[in-house]
Structure 1
Amino acid sequence: MSNNNLDKRKPLDKKGGLLAILIAILWSANPLAAKIGLEDAPIFRLGFMRFALGIFVVVAWGIYTKQSFLISKKTLIPLGISSVIVPVQFGFHLFGQDQTSASHGVIMIVTFPLWAAMFSHFYNKNDRLNRVRVFGLILAFFGIIVLFWDSFNNNFIEYLIGDVSILISAIILGARLVYVSHITQGVNKIHVVLFETVVGFLSFFILSMLFERQEFVFTQSLIVSLFYLGIVIAGFGLILQTHVLKTYLPGKVTFFNLFQPILGVFFAWIILAEKPGIELFLSILLVFIGSYFALKK
């Protein structure tokens, strides 16, 4: 576990900003890839296949970069905590995405920087909120309310259940990112990612064997979905994200995900033909502007 003497995180610079934007771009298509994959595979099966691919990438990257896979006893507890959080968070995400549209999923999951900023305010003394940032948080939360109102107003009860589930996933994700940023000050980042993918794989594999009996085939769309969810996100995406969280304070790093709603809704419109309504655009605008103010010093 880390302590203040080991904490080498620094304020966000240009390099960190560019890396954070790259992460946001990669994650913007994550809900869409999950939605496509869920058309051909049940929730837990899709999950364990995703984590299996992630393990392959993490191990290959660790070998390529000559990382040590030896784990000390004192790091087992923080590694265990961060790893258990991952399958819970991803489970809520997949369940919710199965119940709502890809566009709604993008808006809900992108709220995780708001939660990360709130948790980081209490967890990191160098990452406090001020009045301007709080105003930004409130504005962005109004964007969430608009999306919930859209579900109520159109009687999309199934969307509402999915929206709430993904919102819970976003809250858990925000907390996890702050925690990972903290523990990687004293824990090898490759160990964090490897533990998360292995525990995620085992959890979803066991649940799939217990509860999922339906047959499925590897369609072209499922293969594309798994490549993105597993290789791009669970593999390289998590490695890159953990590196950025280890190097920079999490409160502002995560706010670069304000690009996600725009890109995610665009992808859902082009690929899944989900036509965005005025409520969706208003929600995106509020989240975008709110996130901008939340980035202010």
Structure 2
Amino acid sequence: MRYRNLILFLVLAVLWGSAFMAIKVGVEYFPPVLFAALRYDIAGVLMLGYAWYVLDDPVPRTRSEWHLVAIGAVFLIGAYHALLFIGETDPGVTSATAAIVVSLSPVLTTAFARLMLPSERLGTLGLSGLILGFLGVIVLARPNPSNLFASDVVATFLIFIAALSFALGSVLTRRSDATLPIESLEAWSMLGGAVLMHAASVGLGESLQAITITTEAILALGYLSVFASAIGFLIYFSLLDRLGPIEINLVSYTAPPVAAVTGFLALGEHITLTTIAGFGVVMVGFALIKRNAIRQELPIFDSEHAGPADD
């Protein structure tokens, strides 16, 4: 199919971009960390079933493989989603704002890689891109010096810490010597992250009794678990094999516009000039810090990158 990569890329952008809106809906009915834990209870079971289907042995067997799973569970699933869901409970943080802050992850990942791999240095343009990424977050948060601890500023900062956690986890997994298949890594990380978030939920005093069961609540949980997580990651794996990590990571920059549109349509969230400006600054930062990789890899749907299935 000639346009398979493009179609799958756009579907993934819609699934992951609209997830921010679904989180915003769900935290109205669920305690945030418990909501994130329940999402990955379901998604983890689905992903483990898929891993068992496509792999001969999806169970980690060595200490290094379980260490890799632990990194994924702590940083990529547990800390990232707990902080993201808490941040989105604030009414001052829109779906688009959350998506833009999270879209910093590829930039932050590059920065962590440079810090943790001394042989790779961050040049002047790359450093400028990193600084612009941080400035984009400041634009979005709009901190008032007289009230730096306003709820929306704190919430935006928590989402930024979530993006930091995801970026650090990405670098730590790449540094690992373990060679666990990605399907197995994702499945066990989801389940491990869910366990950690359940523990954090209990520690925060959240309870099942605080859940309000409504049609919207069930739809939000189902959408995030099945579509944004299980189906979304299956599409991600498919595109990762054919396009490579640089190209597929560009989906991070299609998610904010989707989040803005779905947030507007479903929740009536306004797309402000501040949101657009913040996204623009983050995009410029991304272009600077990833300029060489983008130059080498684009256009991302060039026929030379397509696999046999595209013929």
Q: Normalised by the shorter chain, which TM-score bucket? A: 0.7 to 0.9
Cα distance, 1:248–1:148 mapped onto 2, change above 3 Å = same
Q: In 2, are the aligned partners of 1:269 and 1:275 still within 8 Å (CA)?
A: yes
- Give the equivalent residue in structure 2 for 1:55: 44
SS in 2 for 1:41: coil
Q: 1:165–1:134: structure 2 CA closer, same or farther, 3 Å change rule?
A: same
Aligned letter for 2:144?
F
Q: Indicate which of 134, 158, 164 corresponds to 2:157.
A: 164
Q: Give the SS at the match of 1:72.
A: coil
In the alignment, which residue of structure 2 is the partner of 1:91? Answer: 82
Q: Is the 8 A contact 1:93 1:169 kept in 2?
A: yes
Establish whether residue 152 from structure 1 lines up as the match of residue 144 from structure 2.
Answer: yes
Equivalent position to 1:43, from 4, 7, 32: 32
2:22 is aligned to 33
**Residue of structure 2 equivalent to 1:221:** 216
When residues 260 and 19 of structure 1 are mapped into structure 2, their CA distance, relative to the original with a 3 A threshold, is same
Give the superposed CA RMSD: 3.3
> Could you report, residue by residue, the CA deviation over 1:177-199 in whole angstroms, capped at 9, with x for unpaired residues?
23334448611222211221111
1:3 aligned residue: none
**CA displacement at 1:40 relative to structure 2:** 0.9
Deviations along 1:5-37, one digit per CA (max 9) or x if unpaired, are: xxxxxxxxx999987766444322222111110
Alignment of 1:158-237 (within 5 A): 158-183=151-176, 186-209=179-202, 211-213=205-207, 214-237=209-232
Kindly tell me: are residues 241 and 152 of structure 1, through their superposed partners in 2, closer, same or farther at Cα, counting changes over 3 Å? farther
SS in 1 for 2:211: coil
Whether the 8 Å contact between 2:48 and 2:184 is mirrored in structure 1 is: no
Match of 1:82, as an amino acid?
Answer: G
Supply the distance in 2 between the matched residues of 1:280 and 1:34 (Cα, whole angstroms): 19
In the alignment, the residues of structure 1 paired with residue 177 and residue 220 of structure 2 have an alpha-carbon distance, to the nearest angstrom, of 30
Relative to structure 1, the CA distance from residue 90 to residue 267 in structure 2 (aligned partners, 3 Å threshold; closer, same or farther) is: same
1:73 paired residue among 59, 62, 78: 62
Residue identity in the other structure for 1:201: A
**Counterpart Cα distance in 2 of 1:21 and 1:174:** 23
Amino acid at match of 2:189: E
Contact 2:27 2:35 in 1 (8 A): yes
Aligned amino acid, residue 94 of structure 1: F
- The match for 1:276 is 271
Distance 1:101-1:235 versus aligned 2 partners, 3 A rule: same
Per the TM alignment, residue 169 of structure 1 is displaced from its structure 2 partner at its CA by 0.2
How far did 1:247 drift? Answer: 8.4
CA distance in 2, matches of 1:280, 1:265: 9
After superposition, give the CA deviation of every residue in 1:239-282 in whole Å (9 maximum; x if it has no partner).
Answer: 55467678887567534412222221122122111112221111
Q: Partners in 2 of 1:265 and 1:183 — Cα distance?
A: 36
Q: Distance in 1 between matches of 2:120 and 2:275?
A: 31
> CA distance change for structure 1 residues 18 and 126 in 2, over 3 Å: closer, same or farther?
farther
Taking a change above 3 Å as real, the CA distance of residues 257 and 234 of structure 1, as seen in their structure-2 partners, is same
Amino acid across the alignment from 1:90: H
Matching residue's letter, 1:27: W
Q: The residue matched to 1:152 in structure 2 has which SS? A: coil
Q: 1:192 to 1:172 in 2, by over 3 A?
A: same
Partner residue of 1:262? 257
* Aligned partners of 1:36 and 1:221 also within 8 Å: yes
Whole-angstrom CA distance in 1 between matches of 2:230 and 2:174: 18
Residue identity matched to 1:288:
M
Which residue of structure 1 aligns with residue 282 of structure 2? 287
TM-superposed CA distance for 1:157, in Å, is: 1.2
Which has the higher mean CA deviation after the structures are superposed, 63-72 or 220-229? Answer: 63-72
Distance 1:184 1:275, change over 3 A: farther
Q: What TM-score do you get using the length of structure 1 for normalisation?
A: 0.80
Q: Which letter maps to 1:65?
A: V
8 Å CA contact retained: 1:54, 1:230: yes
**Shift in CA distance, 124/240, structure 1 to aligned 2, threshold 3 Å:** farther
The more displaced of 50-59 and 172-181 is 172-181
Identity %: 18
